[in-house]
Amino acid sequence: MDDKDMGPDLEKVLISADEVQARLAGLARAIETDYDGKDVLLVGVLNGALVVMADLIRELHIDTEMDWMAISSYGAGTKSSGVVRIMKDLGADIQNRHVLVVEDIIDSGLTLSWLLSNLRSRGPASLEVVTLLRKPDAAKVAIDVKYVGFDIPNEFVVGYGLDYAQRFRGLPFIGTLAPHVYSS
């Protein structure tokens, strides 16, 4: 699927596929430097981070393991409900491990803040975050994010794993939806 397949549903392409890939390569180089010689566990947050995690792990030139969590605070809407539920927990024990949480986007930060608190309680050696996108203007809590791909405006975005009502995840770029899609 690309921007031509979306017809009038796409308002604009915010970040091109080439820009996304180049930034992930840059993030991978920083992660390699910081984690050289360390036992790293990448923890992807499903479903959105699936695409980010897949491309990031292929860019990395260090050996890593990966695991997944699924947490929910959105449902089918465009705003977080504020209630976080673990839909799928980690299979790996993270005690004394270097854990790098892989996110697709950080909006309010409320869900991620909850997740980091939950993971800290499990005793990792270190806990950091890499995110493809961050919306500084939407932040409701301060979160130290070590690796940020792009800071973006507070707009509802789709593509590259991000969805609206489970649609548009397969776009190779980050785009904004036309208001008629989510306001009806």
> Coil, strand, or helix at residue 79?
coil
Tokens of 65: 């393991």
* pLDDT level of residue 88 (50, 70, 90 thresholds): very high
> Residue 31, exposed/middle/buried by CB under 10 A (0-12, 13-18, 19+)?
buried
117 close to 125: Cβ distance less than 8 angstroms: no
Tokens of 93: 């024990």
Domains of the chain with bracketed CATH: 17-154 (3.40.50.2020)
Residue 162 pLDDT > 90: yes
Residue closest to 135 by CA, chosen among 152, 116, 149: 152
Single out the catalytic residue among 2, 107, 137, 151.
107
CA distance 44 to 22: 20
- Catalytic site residue 18? no
Q: 125 CB contacts (<8 Å, ≥6 apart)?
A: 96, 97, 98, 99
- Other Cβ atoms closer than 10 A to 144: 8
Residue 53: predicted pLDDT: 97
Q: How high is the mean pLDDT of the chain? A: 91
Residue 1: predicted pLDDT: 59
* pLDDT level of residue 166 (50, 70, 90 thresholds): confident
pLDDT digits 0-9 by tens, 100-131: 999 999 999 998 999 999 999 999 999 999 99
CA distance 69 to 32: 23
Handedness of CA 67, 162, 31, 140 (dihedral sign): negative
> Coil, strand, or helix at residue 78?
coil
Per DSSP bridges, beta strands 10-15 and 174-177 are antiparallel
Per DSSP bridges, beta strands 98-106 and 85-88 are unpaired
